[in-house]
Copies of this chain bind each other. A is one copy, B any other.
Amino acid sequence: MSKYVPVYKQLREMLRTQIETGQLPVGTTLPPEVELAGTFGVSRATMRNAILDLVEDGLIKRKPGAGTVVIRSKPEEHRSYFRGLTEDLRRRGISSSASVLSAEVTRPNDAIADHLKLTRGESALKLTRLRSIASGVPLALLHSYVPEWVGIKVDDDFTRPLYELVESVGKLHIIYGHDVIGASAATAEQAELLDVAVGAPLLSIRRTTFVEHERPVEYVQAYLRNDLYEYHAVLPRETGR
């Protein structure tokens, strides 16, 4: 039950704490590596190991010949992560519910089969849902496709987030998602369901979800009311090496 923790990790966390609590405010120049190493009684390499981790976390910045400066006091959050619509809304304080309009197993059209990397003859579960916010106002029309091999059945509970189903039923681990976002004009059917005028601008999100080995497990085409939803993305700049 003894828990071994390397020295450099202890030092790293100690420094991280000092930065996050403001004992080392933004703008502070840290002592040189050698001095820090001496202070803590470790070799320069060990001290360096601790420091470089913090650079990786974006808390400090180093310049050869200049020094090491604290540039941020809180852990970096400059990156968007893949989330389902339900969780996305919940994070913004909007509670919503879904109603299933239809659920069937079919052979999807070629474009969708291609996105899901289906071989000829393979089918997919097609799911159409309408998601509304608490007051009952319709928000989004969702057309989801899940390959049959994932193992989801037409009588599963689709009012819960689809990701949970995919990950639990298929025992899969989602790695990333690819979103393509555009704008489109509401068709008569969409207008009816979403309670907007025909031709009104809708936000269109087409999402492909991937598990290990670049395997797609879900394709969703969503149409959202532009007055109720905006898509957010925080993108880090490519790090040159």
Q: Could you tell me which A residues sit within 8 Å of B by CB distance?
A: 26, 45, 53, 61, 71-72, 78-83, 174-185, 199-204, 210, 212-214, 226, 229-238, 241
Subset of 24 A-B contacts with CB under 8 Å: A26-B213, A71-B212, A72-B214, A79-B176, A81-B236, A82-B235, A83-B238, A174-B237, A176-B234, A176-B236, A177-B234, A177-B237, A178-B233, A178-B234, A180-B230, A180-B232, A181-B231, A181-B232, A182-B226, A183-B183, A183-B184, A183-B202, A183-B203, A233-B233
Is B185 a contact of A201 with CB atoms below 8 Å?
Answer: yes
Is B82 a contact of A175 with CB atoms below 8 Å?
Answer: no
In the docked arrangement, what's the CA distance between A45 and B49, Å?
12
Number of copies of chain A assembled together: 2
Q: Is the interface of A mostly helix, strand, loop or mixed?
A: strand
Residue of B nearest to A239 (CB): B81
Residue of B nearest to A61 (CB): B212
